[in-house]
């Protein structure tokens, strides 16, 4: 670790016997880590404030622990105060430091709209910039990056979140060249500690975590056919950090392959790119998986036992009503209550646009009825990835994935936050949160 600080003072009991150091976290020069040494006992907490008025608290923990100070702005002076109790009574230590730089590979963002009075309360965005290399990052509403991690050059990441009930990250990675199977889930502390990797064969695009800690992955399912030779479908598997996999469901259980316009693309060298699964979302409320198969404009809702609870879209049992535009190459399909939400794109090559849409089920007519849209009036287009998620205050956050832009909408449709990536980058999947130490506070679960 790199030393960052000079100690101003330490008092308490008859004497304060501890040596206090503040160093940069391993691999993250802009995350200060405070630790005590000596005959350490008891517990402590750390409050900090930066020169630009930002502040935060590392919550109470055993004084033998290292205290990572998340959210301190890069290259800013900050002061800190450690208060604790030990066998001799109470003690207080304080000091000042200049935080380090985010270092090479730090992404930058352009925030063009920020209505502080109407955005939702979530302060930070944890996400990934897919590509080679891919970059995980945390930024705030002003576009400042507080944490980032650049993956190995040959790996692509597209989805990241916090493990349930913790502030540990879990993200996916796989080879850009799909002839090479490097699929894995990785868990990691924000301070760079506790790294663990779980191999997930043939996994791609997306994963989710269930409330019991089970991990669900989307993986290709390649099978030979008489008519089309090898065809690439998709399957859902469950696994855990202890290893082992159980197949939950495969599209081969429900459909027979048929040619689509671009299934000869080289995206999957293993065969015809049939279903092109691109999202997997677990609904805690419905106890089902939503499997988005963008290649066939269809969403399947599947239980953990593999039972199909519903199917929606072009090859589903419940199509979009004729009065509305059918969804096309959708992403992030999920239910909010009884309403289906997803991102969709126009099918016309001369009018390529992407927007968010919400449907309700007309059970009498057996069709989906469009009830709301977000961003349909825009010309932004996302062929790759995309998200549509409700925030704590009811606003809607939409990412245009490869379009490189994200917007937050009020229920009235006003844009109150807008952020762009650099021209060469784009948004993968991510989550909004408010507290580095307890990111699940106020989290909107599906």
Nearest to 426 by CA among 385, 391, 398, 376: 385
8 Å CB contact between 129 and 158: no
Let me know whether 82 and 144 are in one domain: no
Which DSSP string do the residues of 35-90 spell out, in sequence order?
EEESS--SEEEEEEEETTS-EEEEEEEETTS-EE-TTPPTT-EEEEEEEEEETTEE
Question: Is 443 inside a domain boundary?
Answer: no
Query: Which of 68, 238, 30, 23 lies closest to 149, judged by CA?
Result: 30
- What is the 3-class SS of 351-408, one letter each residue? CCCEEEEEEEEECCCCEEEEEEEECCCCCCCCCCCCEEEECCCCCEEEECHHHCEEEE
Task: Tell me if 140 is assigned to some domain.
Answer: yes
pLDDT in tens, 142-169: 999 999 999 998 899 999 999 999 999 9
Q: What is the pLDDT of residue 10?
A: 44
- Between the alpha carbon of residue 277 and those of residues 296, 305, 312, 329, 385, the distances in Å are 9, 20, 14, 10, 11
With beta carbons less than 8 A apart as the criterion, state whether 367 and 319 touch. Answer: yes
On whether residue 62 sits in a domain, the answer given is yes
Residue 119 structure tokens:
């955005």
Please indicate, yes or no, if residue 417 is contained in any of the structural domains.
yes
Last residue of a domain, one of 98, 130, 146: 98
Same domain, 301 and 420: yes
CB neighbour class for 418 (10 Å; exposed up to 12, middle 13-18, buried from 19) = middle
Q: What is the pLDDT of residue 336?
A: 94
Over residues 360-381, mean pLDDT: 95
The arithmetic mean of pLDDT across residues 178-186, rounded, is: 94
Residues 219 and 92 in one domain: no
User: Looking at the predicted structure, is the pLDDT value of residue 103 above 50?
Assistant: yes
Look at residue 17 in the predicted model and tell me its pLDDT.
63
Q: Are residues 281 and 429 in the same domain?
A: yes
CATH classification of the domain holding 50: 2.60.40.10
**Residue 446 maps to a domain:** no
More confident position, 35 or 185: 185
Domains identified in the chain, total number: 2
Interval 325-334 mean pLDDT: 97
Q: pLDDT tens, 41-93?
A: 889 999 999 999 999 999 999 988 899 999 999 889 999 998 888 877 888 88
For the residues 117-134, what does the mean pLDDT come to? 94
Centre a 10 Å sphere on the Cβ of residue 150 and count the other Cβ atoms it contains.
17
Asked if 271 and 311 sit in the same domain, the reply is: yes
Same domain, 306 and 158: yes
Q: Say which residues have a Cβ less than 8 Å from residue 72's Cβ, sequence separation at least 6.
A: 30, 31, 32, 48, 50, 54, 56, 78, 99, 146
The most distant pair of C-alpha atoms in the chain lies apart, rounded to whole Å, by 85
Q: At 166, which CATH number? A: 2.120.10.30
**Mean pLDDT for the chain?**
91
Closest CA to 207 of 176, 167, 164, 177: 164
Q: Same domain for 94 and 238?
A: no
Residue-level pLDDT at 186: 97
Q: What is the number of residues in the chain? A: 446
Among 71, 98, 125, the domain boundary falls at: 98
* Full residue range of the structural domain in which residue 134 is found: 109-433
Q: Tell me what the mean pLDDT of segment 266-292 comes to.
A: 97
Tokens of 307: 């039972």
Contact 382, 343 (CB under 8 A): yes
Asked if 81 and 135 sit in the same domain, the reply is: no
* Whether residue 5 has pLDDT greater than 60: no
191's tokens? 């301070």
What is the predicted pLDDT for the residue at 16?
55
Confirm whether 442 is domain-assigned.
no
Decide if 93 contacts 81 (C-beta within 8 A): yes
pLDDT for the residue 20: 85
Examine the domain organization and report whether 115 and 82 are in the same domain: no
Model confidence at 426: pLDDT above 90: yes
Q: What is the pLDDT of residue 444?
A: 55
Burial of 275-297, coded b for 16+ CB within 10 Å and e otherwise, reads bbbbbbbbbeebebbbbbbbbbb
Quick one: average pLDDT of 404-430? 95
- The verdict on 234 and 168 lying in the same domain is yes
- The closest of 436, 402, 434, 444 to 128, measured between CA atoms, is 402
Looking at 98, 131, 163, which one is the last position of a domain?
Answer: 98
Residue 341 lies in a domain: yes
Is the same domain home to 250 and 355? Answer: yes
The closest alpha carbon to 132, from 425, 430, 421, belongs to 425
What lies within 8 Å, CB to CB, of 348 at 6+ separation is: none
Identify whether residues 379 and 235 lie together within a single domain. yes
**pLDDT confidence of 11, banded at 50, 70, 90?**
very low
* Structural domain includes residue 91: yes
Residue 1 has pLDDT above 70, yes or no: no
Average confidence (pLDDT) over 247-266:
95
Query: What's 252's DSSP letter?
Result: G
Radius of gyration of the chain (CA): 24
């Amino acid at each position: 670790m790199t030393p960052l600080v000079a100690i101003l003072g330490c008092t308490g009991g008859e004497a304060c016997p501890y040596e206090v150091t503040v160093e940069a976290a391993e691999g993250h020069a802009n995350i200060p880590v405070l630790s005590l040494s000596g005959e350490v006992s008891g517990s402590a907490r750390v409050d900090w404030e930066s020169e630009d008025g930002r502040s935060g608290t590392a919550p109470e923990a055993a004084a033998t622990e290292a205290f990572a100070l998340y959210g301190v702005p890069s290259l800013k002076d900050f002061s800190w105060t450690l208060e604790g109790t030990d066998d001799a009574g109470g003690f207080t230590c304080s000091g000042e430091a200049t935080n380090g730089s985010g270092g090479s590979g730090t992404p930058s963002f352009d925030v063009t709209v920020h209505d502080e009075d109407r955005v939702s309360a979530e302060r930070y965005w944890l996400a990934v910039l897919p590509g080679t290399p891919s970059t995980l990052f945390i930024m705030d509403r002003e576009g400042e990056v507080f944490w980032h991690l650049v993956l190995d050059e040959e790996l692509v990441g597209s989805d990241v979140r916090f493990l349930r009930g913790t502030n540990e990250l879990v993200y996916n990675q796989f080879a850009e060249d799909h002839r090479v199977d490097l699929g894995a889930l990785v868990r990691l502390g924000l301070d760079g500690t506790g790294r663990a990797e779980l191999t997930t064969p043939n996994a791609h695009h997306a994963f989710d975590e269930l409330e019991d800690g089970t991990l669900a992955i989307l993986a290709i399912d390649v099978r030979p056919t008489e008519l089309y030779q090898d065809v690439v479908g998709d399957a859902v598997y469950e696994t855990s950090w202890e290893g082992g996999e159980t197949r939950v469901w495969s599209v081969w259980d429900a459909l027979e392959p048929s040619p689509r316009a671009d299934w000869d693309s080289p995206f999957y060298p293993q065969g015809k790119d049939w279903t092109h699964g691109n999202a997997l979302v677990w609904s805690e409320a419905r106890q089902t998986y939503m499997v988005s198969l963008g290649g066939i404009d269809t969403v399947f809702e599947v239980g953990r036992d593999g039972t199909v609870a519903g199917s929606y879209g072009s090859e589903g049992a419940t199509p979009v009503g004729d009065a509305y535009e059918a969804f096309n190459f959708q992403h992030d399909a999920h239910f909010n209550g009884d309403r289906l939400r997803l991102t969709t794109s126009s099918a016309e090559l001369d009018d390529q646009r992407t927007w968010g849409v919400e449907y309700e089920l007309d059970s009498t007519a057996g069709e989906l009825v469009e009830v709301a849209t977000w961003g349909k009036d825009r010309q932004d287009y996302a062929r790759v990835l995309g998200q549509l998620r409700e925030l704590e205050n009811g606003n809607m956050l939409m990412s245009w994935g490869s379009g490189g832009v994200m917007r937050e909408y009020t229920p009235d449709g006003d844009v109150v936050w807008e952020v762009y990536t650099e021209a060469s980058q784009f948004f993968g999947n991510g989550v909004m949160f408010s507290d580095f130490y307890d990111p699940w506070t106020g989290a909107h679960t599906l």
